Amino acid sequence: MHHCSQTIYGTTIVAIRDQKKVVMAGDGQVTQGSQVMKGNARKIRRIGGEKVLTGFAGATADAFALLERLEAKLNQHPDQLARACVEMAKDWRMDRYLRRLEAMMIVADVQKTFLMTGNGDVIEPDDQVIAIGSGGGFALAAARGMLAVSQEEKDVEFVAKRALEIAADLCIYTNHQIIVETLNI
């Protein structure tokens, strides 16, 4: 569930959900080609009255355009994240301007987590972990491995942060400027 086009999706975002909280973590690196343009970009945001976490990978300006659209949909459909995502996905598929935007987003509220792709897809993950970006595969594998070690309760904030650190060690498009946001359920 991640995209590997490193020129476009050079970042890592991971979201993990358990019975008590949903956590999203992302790094701060903005890369253009082989050059690091910025090291402390904030790719995790709270929208919808602080009740929705969003994390994006892709062209930063494009991601902000999508974020604004999603916020507008959430204003039209408050506390209905699934509906807002589906409505935005319809626009994404239909609108010529939006179709050219190169970004992916993970959005989550206390009930659901969704992956939104540039194809206008809205995908709900099968399990409690989802990751996107060039380091997404590393973060996903690390988080799943840590969560599988034992069935006892784990600190999902620690798992998300550690998964990002592992991805940053392996992916040159991901750095250690990690932001972690949590919604308590």
Q: Order across the sheet with 52-58: list the strands.
A: 44-47, 52-58, 103-108, 113-116, 122-123
**From CA 81, how far away is CA 42, in angstroms rounded?**
22
Residue 185: inside a domain: no
Residue 5: inside a domain: no
Residue 72: inside a domain: yes
Residue 4: inside a domain: no
The CATH code of the domain that includes 33 is 3.60.20.10
Q: What is the mean pLDDT of residues 75-97?
A: 88
Cα 42 to chain centroid distance, Å, stands at 12
Q: Long-range pairs for 165-170 at CB < 8 Å and ≥24 separation?
A: 166/138, 166/139, 166/142, 167/12, 167/14, 167/27, 167/131, 167/135, 167/136, 167/138, 167/139, 167/142, 168/12, 168/27, 168/135, 170/135, 170/138
Q: Is the pLDDT of residue 168 over 50?
A: yes
The residues that are catalytic are 11
Confidence class for position 152, pLDDT limits 50, 70, 90: low
Confidence class for position 150, pLDDT limits 50, 70, 90: low
Work out how many domains the chain is built from and give that number: 1
Model's pTM, two decimal places?
0.89
Residue 89: inside a domain: yes
Confidence class for position 4, pLDDT limits 50, 70, 90: very low
pLDDT at site 109: 96
Q: What is the mean pLDDT of residues 122-141?
A: 94
Residue 2: inside a domain: no
Structural domain of residue 136, as residue ranges? 12-178
Instruction: Please give the share of the chain, as a percent, with pLDDT higher than 90.
Output: 61
Mean pLDDT in the chain? 87
Residue 86: inside a domain: yes
Residue 184: inside a domain: no
Could you tell me the sign of the dihedral formed by the alpha carbons of 125, 126, 130, 135, in that order? negative
Please, are residues 11 and 135 in contact by the beta-carbon 8 Å criterion?
Answer: yes
Q: Is the pLDDT of residue 149 over 90?
A: no
